[in-house]
Amino acid sequence: MYTAVEGARVPIRMWADPQSVEEAALRQLRNVADLPWVHGVAVMPDVHYGKGATVGSVIAMRDAVSPAAVGVDIGCGMSAVRTSLTAKDLPDDLGALRGRIEAAVPVGFHLHKSPVNTAVVHGVGGWDRFWGAFGDLHPGVQDLRTRAHLQVGSLGGGNHFIEVCLEQGGADEGRVWLMLHSGSRNIGKELAERHIGVARKLPHNADLPDRDLAVFVAGTPEMAAYRRDLFWAQDYAARNRATMVALVKLALADTVPGVRFDDAISCHHNYVAEETYDGVDVLVTRKGAIRAGNGDLGIIPGSMGTGSYIVRGLGNESAFHSASHGAGRRMSRTKAKKMFTEVDLAAQTEGVECRKDAGVVDEIPAAYKDIRTVIEAQADLVEVVAHLKQVICVKG
């Protein structure tokens, strides 16, 4: 159940202990709730301070949207695929399989040398129409067409990852899953930053408590331009993940011939959707949150050493049909790098085939909240379908 946060113009419903949330994040939430366009705010148990708007927040607005509240990685999200394999079918040398995956999917700042043949991405069509719309995007990104093509099917860095996981408990104990987390890459970032810059300069945003909360309002050319680019970038992110899923499936099939795959489960967790609550049509911004409508399948990851959950939404309208997008950070990357070492990382990721060097110390499991506690805090938002634990984790 949620806790109501006091001192805001509209309801702020929080699925976390307010005493555990940084004051800066609470201030962000109240600032958002005080905007005249906001219909309501729901706060997920993985909540923490973010740029512009709080990560783990769901904001329902009437006739307006804040591009900074969406974030710069437009359409960032998750995909997961259950396979026909069990743990005993995996090769003894998981390092070799990790190497195959890393050879198939560029990570960090790397990109493909030539565009991926979209014929490998089964079930996703309309590529010509999709790329045909590129010329309608913001003029400032028109020179990024080639890069955008080459980044389709690439992972990125930070908290983005590709994993091979094993199901924990139940009748499917040991079943192998593939899972990945990524978004709209550089093109989404470039689009977001340009529109955030435009919003900050609009007269109706001049007196906001935080200029990062600048909004576009319905019926204006700025709103129309942002919505066009936003929905294109969300589509790009989904296609990027679908392409990576296809490439990882091929890498696994090369290693274990005969493997079969279920349909992918996919969900955005940095995005905007048109929805209706209390009879009011709103634009729902989920920044670090997934849609959890009744029956919706979703993915809530933990960290690179603690596992993840496949969940089914319960359709809780108080949360605007939402749930958390992950465990959520409990400390900044800078603090994690100061507090932990490569030795700590190796200890906390024991049994996982992954990077254990200084470059990913900021992703150490201890930098994140406990995923089990986060899942328990939203028992009225989702039900657990499967608990997964990674045996391979690829990071940029």
For the annotated catalytic residues, the residue numbers are 325
Backbone angles phi, psi at 231, to 5 degrees: -70, -30
Contact residues for 297 (Cβ-Cβ < 8 A; gap 6+): 265, 267, 310, 311, 312, 313, 385
Distances (CA, A) of 178 to 6, 158, 200: 42, 19, 40
Distances (CA, A) of 53 to 211, 227, 295, 300, 351: 11, 19, 28, 20, 36
**C-alpha angle 48/204/61, rounded to 5°?**
50
Q: Two tokens at 100? A: 């195959």
Beta strand ranges found along the chain (DSSP E)? 3-4, 12-14, 38-48, 55-61, 64-65, 77-86, 161-168, 175-182, 216-217, 265-268, 270-277, 280-287, 289-291, 297-301, 308-313, 322-324, 353-354, 382-395
Q: Which residue has the tokens 């960032």?
A: 76
DSSP letters along 82-108, please? EEEEEGGGS-S-HHHHHHHHHHHS--T
- Nearest partner of 169 among 5, 13, 386, 379, judged by Cα: 386
Cβ atoms 270, 74 nearer than 8 A:
yes
Phi-psi region of 295 (alpha: psi -120 to 50; beta: other; left: phi over 0): left
| Dihedral sign computed on CA atoms, order 135, 245, 164, 392 | negative
19: burial class by Cβ within 10 Å (0-12, 13-18, 19+)?
Answer: exposed
Contact residues for 99 (Cβ-Cβ < 8 A; gap 6+): none
Cβ atoms 180, 269 nearer than 8 A:
no
